[in-house]
A and B are shown apart, each in its own frame.
Chain A
Amino acid sequence: GENVEQHPSTLSVQEGDSAVIKCTYSDSASNYFPWYKQELGKGPQLIIDIRSNVGEKKDQRIAVTLNKTAKHFSLHITETQPEDSAVYFCAASSSHAGGTSYGKLTFGQGTILTVHP
Chain B
Amino acid sequence: KAGVTQTPRYLIKTRGQQVTLSCSPISGHRSVSWYQQTPGQGLQFLFEYFSETQRNKGNFPGRFSGRQFSNSRSEMNVSTLELGDSALYLCASSLGLAKETQYFGPGTRLLVL
Residue ranges of A at the interface with B (Cβ–Cβ < 8 Å) = 31-32, 34, 36, 41-46, 49, 51, 89, 91, 93, 95-97, 100-110
- For B48, give its contact among A34, A45, A97, A103 (CB under 8 Å): A103
Q: Is the CB of A96 within 8 A of B98?
A: yes
Would you list which residues of chain B between 91 and 109 have a CB under 8 Å from chain A?
Answer: 92, 94, 96, 98-107
B contact residues vs A (CB 8 Å cutoff): 4, 31, 33, 35, 42-45, 48, 50, 55-56, 58, 90, 92, 94, 96, 98-107
The DSSP consensus for interface residues of chain A is loop
Knowing A44-B90, A107-B42 are in contact, say whether A95-B99 is a contact too (CB < 8 A).
yes
Residues of A within 8 A of B31 (CB): 103
Q: How far is the CB of A34 from chain B (nearest CB, A)?
A: 7
Known contacts A44-B90, A105-B35; 15 further A-B pairs (Cβ under 8 A) = A34-B102, A43-B90, A44-B104, A46-B102, A89-B42, A96-B98, A97-B98, A101-B56, A102-B55, A102-B56, A104-B58, A107-B42, A107-B43, A107-B44, A110-B42
Interface of B, helix, strand, loop or mixed by DSSP:
strand
Least CB distance, B68 to chain A, in whole angstroms? 12
On chain B, the residues within 8 Å of A102 by CB distance are 48, 55-56, 98
How many A-B residue pairs have C-beta atoms within 8 angstroms? Tell me. 68
Cα–Cα, bound, A101→B43 (Å): 16
Q: Which residues of A contact B92 (CB under 8 A)?
A: 105
| Contact of B56 with A100 in the complex, beta carbons under 8 Å | yes
In Å, the complex CA distance between A107 and B92 comes to 14
A46 & B103 in contact (Cβ 8 Å cutoff): yes
Residue numbers in B under 8 Å from A49 (CB-CB)? 101
Q: In the bound complex, what is the Cα–Cα distance between A108 and B96 (angstroms)?
A: 22
